[in-house]
Amino acid sequence: MNLEGKTVLITGADGFIGSHLTELLVKQGCKVKALSQYNSFNHWGWLEGIECLDQIEVLSGDIRDPHYCNHITKGVDIVFHLAALIAIPYSYVAPTSYVDTNVTGTLNICQAAKDNGCEKVIHTSTSEVYGTALYVPIDEKHPLQPQSPYSASKIGADNMAMSFYNAFDLPVVIARPFNTYGPRQSARAVIPTIISQIADGASEIMVGDLSPTRDFNFVKDTCQGFIELAKSDKAIGEVVNIGSNFEISIQDTFELIKKIMGSTVDFVVDPQRIRPGKSEVQRLWCDNQKLMQLTGFKPSYSIESGLAETINWFTKKENLKHYKSTIYNV
């Protein structure tokens, strides 16, 4: 499928990944409708600072409302569904909100896309649905393990989206990115937490458990993976990992960030940042062979080059001011 000239709707466009995807889809020649969660301040999140803001249509609303979802999908060719609650710690204290947004919101988007004849829905999953790796690298056949209310809600959302493919022939692709990082990422994530604290001159860095491993992916690679899946008709009805096939521990990531930033700071484990024992995902390592087979796409950024670009963005005063490095964001 050629995306040029297509009308696309991006839910969650005001967020970290969504704002980057918005920029790339404009460059692809798409007519972009960017959904920002409604608020009385009329603030559009990370869309506020993108260079192509005058080339997109910004919508303000909420995917929890089925009537609104039906309204915004009229005349849309492709839906990139990214809107979700994603913070794992907050899901421990507010799990119902995760079901409302992630499961019911996905139902609303899929029903609206079906009713309005959308050509394709790219639904966003997460590697968290796999839980701690039972084998590595993790392919799409790996069992799903709900180790947090967040991951349980995403398992439900993924299955809801796939049910619309099976029951109604809605052209759905489940894009399953592993740990994405880069400019604009929330302070609740480990890489922005480390970088922002060092950039703010902290003498000690507050962190959680540094022993888990992750397959980190630079945000531009994740977004390009989304785009390639949207172009591929072979991906319809499939679950597809987006990852680098490279595993690194949080400890080694911390040391690499220190090296790039020329820092000698040490870390202090903050108990409030530690997940419950059975909830911590100890190991994630992506098998990205299916993505390459379906689309030919493979990541362009190494962990070193991606971190360098991320650090360059975070250390600019106009960007760092958005982050409260001394507060733990759930």
Report the CATH number at residue 254: 3.90.25.10
Check whether residue 251 and residue 155 sit in a common domain. no
pLDDT at 328: 67
Is residue 1 a part of any domain in this protein?
no
Check whether residue 24 and residue 81 sit in a common domain. yes
Check whether residue 258 and residue 161 sit in a common domain. no
Task: Give pLDDT tens digits for 73-128.
Answer: 999 999 999 999 999 999 999 999 999 999 999 999 999 999 999 999 999 999 99
pLDDT at 86: 96
pLDDT at 330: 62
CA-based nearest residue to 10, from 41, 39, 32 = 32
- The four Cα atoms 164, 170, 171, 172 give a dihedral, to 10 degrees, of -20
Whether the predicted pLDDT of 168 surpasses 80: yes
Check whether residue 223 and residue 262 sit in a common domain. no
Task: Give pLDDT tens digits for 20-63.
Answer: 999 999 999 999 999 999 999 999 999 998 999 999 999 999 99
Lowest mean pLDDT among 46-50, 158-162, 322-326: 322-326
pLDDT at 251: 95
Whether the predicted pLDDT of 329 surpasses 80: no
54 Cβ contact partners less than 8 Å away, ≥ 6 residues apart: none
Q: Which residues pair with 59 in a beta bridge?
A: 35
Check whether residue 189 and residue 116 sit in a common domain. no
CA-based nearest residue to 174, from 126, 122, 225, 252 = 122
Is residue 293 a part of any domain in this protein?
no
Give the separation between CA 274 and CA 183, rounded to whole angstroms: 24
Domain count, the chain: 2
Residue at 279: amino acid letter: S
Q: What percent of the chain stands above pLDDT 90?
A: 89
CA-based nearest residue to 294, from 207, 226, 196, 220 = 226
Give the separation between CA 260 and CA 147, rounded to whole angstroms: 33
Provide the CATH number for the domain around residue 111.
3.40.50.720
Is residue 35 a part of any domain in this protein?
yes
Check whether residue 167 and residue 81 sit in a common domain. yes
Q: Is the peptide bond before 137 cis (omega within 30 degrees of 0)?
A: yes
What do you get for the CA distance between the two ends of the chain, in Å?
A: 39
Task: Give pLDDT tens digits for 199-239.
Answer: 999 888 888 888 999 999 999 999 999 999 999 999 999 99
Check whether residue 169 and residue 94 sit in a common domain. yes
Check whether residue 233 and residue 273 sit in a common domain. no
Check whether residue 111 and residue 238 sit in a common domain. yes
Structural domain span for residue 279: 184-214+246-283+302-320
Query: Is 155 in contact with 191 (CB distance < 8 Å)?
Result: no
Check whether residue 197 and residue 134 sit in a common domain. no
Instruction: Give the helix, strand, coil percentages of the chain, each rounded to 5.
Output: 45, 15, 40
Task: Give pLDDT tens digits for 264-320.
Answer: 999 888 787 777 879 899 999 999 999 999 999 999 999 999 999 999 999 999 999
Give the separation between CA 120 and CA 138, rounded to whole angstroms: 26
pLDDT at 275: 77
Check whether residue 224 and residue 279 sit in a common domain. no
Is residue 289 a part of any domain in this protein?
no
pLDDT at 161: 98
Give the separation between CA 272 and CA 209, rounded to whole angstroms: 10
Check whether residue 152 and residue 263 sit in a common domain. no
Which tokens is 203 given? Answer: 């003498």
Is residue 288 a part of any domain in this protein?
no
Is residue 294 a part of any domain in this protein?
no
Task: Give pLDDT tens digits for 172-196.
Answer: 999 999 999 999 999 889 999 999 9
| Triad 174, 150, 210: Cα angle to 5° | 105
Residues making up the chain, counted from first to last:
330
Is residue 60 a part of any domain in this protein?
yes
157 Cβ contact partners less than 8 Å away, ≥ 6 residues apart: 84, 102, 103, 105, 106, 123, 125
Give the separation between CA 310 and CA 313, rounded to whole angstroms: 5
Residue at 260: amino acid letter: I
Is residue 326 a part of any domain in this protein?
no
